[in-house]
Amino acid sequence: MDASTSLHAHGEDHHHHEGGHEHEHHELGFWRKYIFSTDHKVIGIQYGLCGLAFLFFGFCLMMLMRWQLAYPGKMPPVIGPIVLSIQHFLEAHKAAAGHFDPWFWLRGLISPFTNGIMTPEGYNSLGAMHGTIMIFLGVVPLAFAAFGNFVVPLQIGAPDMTFPKVNAASFWAFAVGGAIMVSSFFVPGGAAKGGWTSYVPLAALDDRGPGHNIIFNGQSLWLLGFIFLITSSLLGAVNFITTIIQLRAKGLTWMRLPFFVWSQFVTAFLLLLAFPPLEAAIIMQLMDRTAATSFFLPAGMIVNGVPLHISGGGSPLLWQHLFWFLGHPEVYVLILPAFGIVAEILANNSRKPLWGYKSLVFSVLVIGFLSFVVWAHHMWLTGMGSTVSAFFQTTTLLISIPSVIILSAFFISLWGGSIRFNVPMLWVTAFLPMFGIGGLTGIPLAFNSADLYLHDTYYVIAHFHYIVAPGTIFGLFAGVYYWYPKATGRMMSEFWGKVHFWPSLICMNVIFLPMFLQGMLGMHRRWYDGGQGWTLSGEHIWGLTGFQWNTPISWAAWIMGLAQIPFIINFFWSIKHGKKVDDNPWQATTLEWTAPNRPPHGNFVTTPVAYRGPYEYSLPGREKDFTMQNEPVDPSERSRRSAEPALVH
């Protein structure tokens, strides 16, 4: 709200750019313009603010869990006493039997704690929601929906998305899904406890029975919320693909698209085709929980000593297949938009054409295809047999090839460039090795013989967090700093950006690097006592036992939490007080920088036309070191080009 009101206050700055369109949106009131907007930029910013808020919320859950891991069974400071006093208050306000309890929501909220100490169920609940919120409410909305919405139409020279109302519907479906997820913290028993993967039969039987409503319980709300989130991403994906196919500016052929648009294009296909099987699975699990079906429940289930009255005949493995059919493309949904952002910023700040544009495009397409045929590598422990294993090992190793091509192309793009280390570029240069570590440590997990040992240990946690935390999220921060001037007309502070960057980079590595070692000791990812009670956690690595490593990791996590404060302040402060800049502050080449800052509804003053590829930086014989895509090709350039085919994309 803060952001949008101040945008409103400065709404007069750019009206002289808008020409004939001025009359149109003066008619829109505050609610239509900033809340129920159909403008892709406003929707993108809405998604962005929600995504950032959810990222921070999900991180807070993890900061709580890190206390439990470092100091198991001890009361956390601040939160612990507060929870304890709420507990005393609730004990004094018990509702009489059979009467409505007006404090039920508060009881739900503190249910992860007893006497101020985290319970095992509470730990599971926070863990499940950390994963769910980070991935589906934080990174996907930010990486795909926020950046995609804001940047893609501008980069392809379009006035808006093809279906603006569908776009708004997508955001509001997301908002409802997010609200349902958050509300699940307040129901009796607290939020879902089955892990972000919601493996059955546990998840199908959790939060059922006395004291639980059939719908308003953690797991059922998790499922319901997901139906809205999937609807949201479906609407978004349809819109993105259609927009990229139909609304490219004149002259903007496929091979002239910025790489970011390509990455969003492939991401949209992944969301479009991978999410529905999960939706099918979610409908089935919801049926198992509400209509007593047995899709995922085998016969002979006994809960609390009582045999379940169910037909049985269901298959827990069915859930795993359907879940990972989404789950694996989902990791590429998380990383591909970050690749796109990195590509843009890398070319811009190394002042060089992106190396191997064509191989990047084909690699991202191959990744998109292969990501649909690797899912069972998450399921080596199910004993699927060597033929199936061999197939999925092969595809899993194949998909590392295009990923390595992309990363190599990024590194080579740096070669011989005169690199500007501004804040977006700092995040991007950190992204490259961090993603590299994340990717390479995944290779042992692709082999089922190695995975049998590493499966479900902290090694896996470290591997995928290197990809999504210092990988994707660093890419997203880079994108926020990079496109912020287009959205607000002002720069974020360089100094505070660096204060944000350096501690984040150091803490990320202090957090995740030791986890590889913990994992190789065999420490299991779901132990709520941090492995305190397990013999091998007592082995020493670098002077500390596996269990003792939890302490520095946790402190690094909390310091990283503090390191986000400069970002939050910088983000909001700069809206009003940042340095004002012109339309193309980074001297970039792509079309979004030809639009006025804070582009009006309809985006461009004149209809953009593209005459050249997206990354014409530092080409010999040019007056300046960058040529924008909408600059016409003059005859002398054309003859020079035919003499030097290497320059033509």
Partner 1 sequence: MEIPYTISTRPDTGLWNAKIGIWLFLASEVMLFGGLFSAYVFLRLDAAPGMWPHGLLNVPVGTMNTAILIISSVTVVLAWAALKMRRYRAYWWYMLATILCGIIFLVVKLSYEWPQKFVHFGAYIKPAALEKYEQYLGNHHLTERGLPPRLEITGHLENHEALHDPNVKEYEIAMDPVNADPTNPAMDRPHFFYVPPTDKVAKIEKEDVERIDSFGPWHSTYFASYFTITGLHGLHVLGGVLVFIYMWLPVSKKVYQRNPEHLANRVEVSGLFWHFVDLIWIFVFPLFYLL
Q: Output 43 or 560, the one with its CB closest to partner 1.
A: 43
Q: In angstroms, what is the minimal distance from the CB of 249 to partner 1?
A: 10
Amino acid at 361: V
CA distance 542 to 85: 41
Nearest to 348 by CA among 608, 594, 590: 590
H/E stretch holding 243: helix 218-246
Q: Report CA-CA distances (Å) from 257 to 154, 560, 629.
A: 12, 36, 10
Q: In sequence order, which residues have a C-beta less than 8 Å from that of residue 497 and are 6 or more positions away?
A: 423, 426, 481, 566, 567, 570
The closest alpha carbon to 69, from 641, 471, 527, belongs to 527
Nearer to partner 1, 274 or 487 (CB): 274
Spatial CA neighbour of 436 closest among 461, 411, 399: 411
- What would the DSSP string read from start to end of 505-520? HHHHHHHHHHHHHHHH
Minimal distance, residue 317 CB to partner 1, in Å: 8
Instruction: Locate 106 and state its tokens.
Output: 């508060």
Of 138 and 159, the one with the shorter C-beta distance to partner 1 is 159
Please, which residues bridge with residue 617 across strands?
A: 626
Which residue, 131 or 602, has its beta carbon nearer to partner 1? 602
Are 434 and 462 contacting, i.e. CB atoms less than 8 angstroms apart?
A: no
Give dist(CA 298, CA 310) in Å, integer: 9
Dihedral sign computed on CA atoms, order 334, 336, 337, 339: positive
Nearer to partner 1, 193 or 248 (CB): 248
Nearest to 345 by CA among 253, 415, 427: 427
Shortest distance, CB of residue 150 to partner 1, whole angstroms?
17
Residue 299: CB minimum distance to partner 1, A = 8
Which candidate, 642, 618, 271, places its Cα nearest to that of 633? Answer: 642
Smallest distance, partner 1 to C-beta of residue 159, A: 4
**Minimal distance in Å, beta carbon 232 to partner 1?**
13
Instruction: Tell me how far the alpha carbon of residue 333 is from its chain's centroid.
Output: 8
**What is the number of alpha carbons within 13 Å of residue 107 lying toward its C-beta?**
16
* Distance in Å, CB of 595 to partner 1, minimum: 11
Give the separation between CA 62 and CA 132, rounded to whole angstroms: 12
Cβ closest to partner 1, residue 64 vs residue 326: 326
CB of 628 to partner 1, least distance (A): 19
Structure-token match 């990222």, residue found: 55
Helical axes 316-350 vs 423-440, angle rounded to 10°:
140
Tokens 């719908």, residue located: 215
Residues that bind partner 1 (CB under 8 A): 21, 158-160, 162-164, 166, 234, 237-239, 241-242, 245-247, 272-281, 283-284, 287, 291-295, 309-311, 313-315, 318, 321-322, 325, 602-604, 607
Nearer to partner 1, 276 or 444 (CB): 276
Nearest distance, CB of residue 273 and partner 1, angstroms: 5
Which residue number, 315 or 509, has a Cβ lying nearer to partner 1?
Answer: 315
The smaller minimum CB distance to partner 1, of residues 77 and 300, is found at 300
Closer to partner 1 by Cβ: residue 57 or 163: 163
> Which tokens belong to 380?
């080596």
CB of 269 to partner 1, least distance (A): 9
